[in-house]
Amino acid sequence: MSDASGKSRRPASRGIENDGGLAVRAAAARALVPVITGKGSLTGLDDHQVVARDRALFKALCYGVCRTLPRLEALAGKLLVKPFKARDADVQALLLLGIHQLLYLRVPAHAAVGETAGAARLIGKEWATRVLNGCLRRLQRESSALQAEVDRDPTVALLHPEWLLKALRQAWPDDWRALAEANNVPGPMTLRVNRRHGDREAYLGRLTAAGLEGRLCTHAPDGITLESPCDVFELPGFDAGHVSVQDEAAQLATVLLGPTLAPRPGARVLDACCAPGGKTAHLLEVFDIDMHAVDSDAERLARVEGALERLGLQARLAHGDATARDWWDGTPFEAILLDAPCSGSGVIRRHPDIKRLRRPSDITALAALQARLLDNLWPLLRPGGTLLYATCSVLPEENSEQIAAFLSRTPDAESTTPRDVAWGRPAGAGRQLLPEADSHDGFFYARLRKT
């Protein structure tokens, strides 16, 4: 892509140095096949399938290819005489990996070409070695011309599918381009300090002593953003539950529920759709509450249990569908957090495979699910109680329009979303954060009170 001066500009990379391995490229190709064929995601990506020294490169390759996929595929189309057959998606993945290394990573060109082409032997496709080698060497020779040619297409230059660019442009006519560009840059690593073990200023000192640099988050009172990401086990006190990884925008749920929960020790609270448990834990770290947490995915619910155990926290966990009530004991809640299933359009920079896997029809289906969740959970809230609706989406159908429709059909609901905060912008009865480089993800909140 290009900036206003016409100079080539690419998404930031972390500068991974290559170790010259075939196995890591073959493993990355296998991991990418489900994504490029639209049959799976990078969720649960296991970097232990490669040796320890290759794990950073493995993740950089997998996430980097997903982040730049529209451009890589456009270039691959120019380099190939004819497309690979469907059964050779793994060879296609190797070609995309090679292109990504040449354009985006600090990998020596000879390694990006030779090791990637050589990895074809490890996936049982030795015949592809010559094809991959020829394509990548041509890209070396004709890189500028080929990139200029494919970048005439905005979907290639901005690395987003056409339907998503159209949706962003319609929702945010003044911000859509900056929003798309922010999606193409990896998000920072942000921490949430557990108040039960001290404040964030003290923990920042512990980070400095450990040789890690960070800065206090602007909006989240428990947040610290690291200057560079690291392994969680390098964080002081991580095993003891002193700190967790959570984006700044996600930490604002606890701030918004503060006026409801702070004066009420023992308040009965529901976290619906609670997995993976970050907000559940944060509420328990800050408030003395009776927490009930529900999720329909048993495997993800087990992750919530593990997170709470590490942090030394307790909640009543239930495996159940929040569009039904068979898990509810009949006692109303003083506060409900509905972190609703959504498109994830606000966290694309952390989950770049969303750009390939999400479809326009998904938005309609998700909006219908969100409406069912709101209608089912609202009667579980006591009069005077608060429901906080949250998504990691930037699309109005899931956010401002969803809440406007709910308010219109729910006479005893009123918005109490604050207007005098320094984060986000007004969005109907809620507040919208758009992703910002080196800062928070995209998020939407609407706080509703039962009159």
Peptide bond into 352 cis (omega under 30): no
The residues near 278 (Cβ < 8 Å, ≥ 6 apart) are: 192, 244, 246, 250, 307
Q: How many residues does the chain have?
A: 451
H/E element holding 129?
helix 128-150
Q: In 69-101, which positions are buried (b, 16+ CB within 10 angstroms) versus exposed (e)?
A: bbbbbbbbeebeeeebeeebbbbbbbbbbbbbb
Q: How far apart are CA 425 and CA 408, in angstroms?
A: 22
Backbone angles phi, psi at 84, to 5 degrees: -70, 155
Both tokens of 101, joined, read 């290394």
Q: Please give the DSSP secondary-structure letter assigned to residue 395.
A: -
Q: How far apart are CA 25 and CA 267, in angstroms?
A: 52
Q: How far apart are CA 338 and CA 388, in angstroms?
A: 6
Q: Are 333 and 21 in contact (CB under 8 A)?
A: no
Amino acid at 226: L
Q: Are 214 and 227 in contact (CB under 8 A)?
A: yes
Q: How far apart are CA 242 and CA 202, in angstroms?
A: 11
Residues marked active site are found at: 392
Please tell me the number of Cα atoms within 13 Å of 363 on its side-chain side: 18
Supply the DSSP string of 54-89, one letter for each residue: GHHHHHHHHHHHHHTHHHHHHHHHHH-SSPPPGGGH
H/E element holding 316?
strand 316-319
Sheet of strand 223-226, all strands in order from the earlier edge strand to the far edge: 214-216, 223-226, 190-193, 243-245
